[in-house]
Amino acid sequence: MKMPGALLDTLHTLFGDDAISTADAERLAYAYDNSRRNALPDAVVFPTTHEQVEALVRACREHRVPLIARGRGTNTTGATVPVEGGVVASFERMTRILRIDPDNRLAVVEPGVLNGDLQRALAPHGFFWPPDPSSSPWCSIGGNLACNSAGPRTVKYGSPRENTLGLRAVAGNGESFRCGTYTSKGATGYDLTRLLIGSEGTLALITEATLKLTPKPSAVRTLRATYRNVGSAARAVARIMAQPVTPCALEFIDDVALKLAHDYAPDAGVPLAGAMLMIEVDGEPENLPSAAEAVARAARGDGLEELRVAADADETRALWSARKALSPAQRTLSPNKINEDVVVPVSRLPELVDGVKQLAARHDVPIVSFGHAGNGNLHVNLLPRDDAERERAHAALAGLFEQVIALDGTLSGEHGIGMIKREFMPLALSGETLDLMRGIKAAFDPDGILNPGKLLP
């Protein structure tokens, strides 16, 4: 759609010439995210205050123009691609950490603060914010909240939904509101905070977040276990999660991924095995030996080939080498990789892993599986190398989602739905549930201007 001249004039008045752009190069830079999908917005604006965001939403609603909130564009589902044009609001200039309150274990931040910058600011106080997606050095807190982005530590410490106390936001109807509490307990009305987290900017634009902090553990112990095959590794995951010591990370890497990482970085010491688990436990130094031994006992079992415990920081880095080498290795094999993060109950993980192997064989396409096994959250990466494999990969994708739902799982654990998984939502949710979600969307955003074409089918 063409941007109404009256709206453009309003935006120039609201933001000034240095915080709005309609130039082709600038619009192109905000047309895509890490999904490699792209669509040009009509304008890009850079808010710096809550009041600007409120005025922006009201102006876009008055002219029925789409409005898409954007963090740093690291998501892989097309959630920030402006598929119907309109205005992209990039929050990259709202980067203030407004308050760090160790006594009450909270921090108040603007949405453009980078996850990594927040962690560095919290470290001198002895705290951290648990969500740690792999993109944490350059992803924003606002983006983490929009997609409920989590990472390895979720297995012990939870996702953004469990680590956010409250929000300030502007709904699609142009009304500002606050939700949540400054306390760790609260039972006052509907939990709008958890509703907004994971809503991918379809309900409201977040302008401030009150985050729940966790004391940083003083020590970490790392273990690496290799197995004869993926089934024995997956069964070990179920055993580890059934004993009392909860690891702070429990990562699964299959044989295809290990071979890929080994060939990409032959000097990194990546083991060749049927599968591998990376396990970490944290806490006070005097408690770590017994915690590591409890996890090691659970990791041992049929199919175990080798169990190593890191003695120091250098050995810890060496043990993590396979996981670090994985992403660049995948890009080398397939620049068009399809990256999906599905979740099943931990006890069903062996079935999912076996099913993925069968899908790869049936559709004759390379599939690499790894991920946050302690949550049953598997990252299934289809790696088509040509057009024929790309077509087969999309057929395999539909089979993957059907399999996940049959195993009582769900379509996404931390990447979200965006535009990539939107068509599969009826597999996961009933018509009645989707209708309730549409009703919620209409209450927050009656004219449907916020991030249209995403999340809901």
Domain range list for the chain: 5-90, 97-215, 219-406
* Residue count (the chain): 457
Cβ count within 10 A of residue 285: 11
Q: Distance between CA atoms of 202 and 187, rounded to whole angstroms?
A: 25
Predicted local distance difference test score (pLDDT) of residue 193: 98
Domain 97-215 CATH assignment equals 3.30.465.10: yes
Q: Model's pTM, two decimal places?
A: 0.93
What is the SS3 assignment for 211? strand
Q: What pLDDT, on a 0 to 100 scale, did the predictor assign at position 337? A: 81
Q: In a 3-state reduction of DSSP, which class is residue 265? A: coil
Fold of domain 219-406: Vanillyl-alcohol Oxidase; Chain A, domain 3 (3.40.462)
> Both tokens of residue 307?
């169990």
pLDDT digits (tens, 9 = 90+) for 290-321: 999 999 999 999 999 999 999 888 888 887 87
363: which residues sit within 8 A by CB, 6+ positions away? 392, 393, 395, 396, 399
* pLDDT beneath 70, residues of the chain: 1
Distance of CA 80 to the CA centre of its chain: 13
* pLDDT value of residue 6: 95
Class for the domain spanning 5-90: alpha beta
Quickly count helices (H) and strands (E) in the chain: 16, 18
Neighbouring-strand partners of residue 44 = 21, 88
Q: What is the pLDDT of residue 1?
A: 57
Q: What is the pLDDT of residue 227?
A: 97
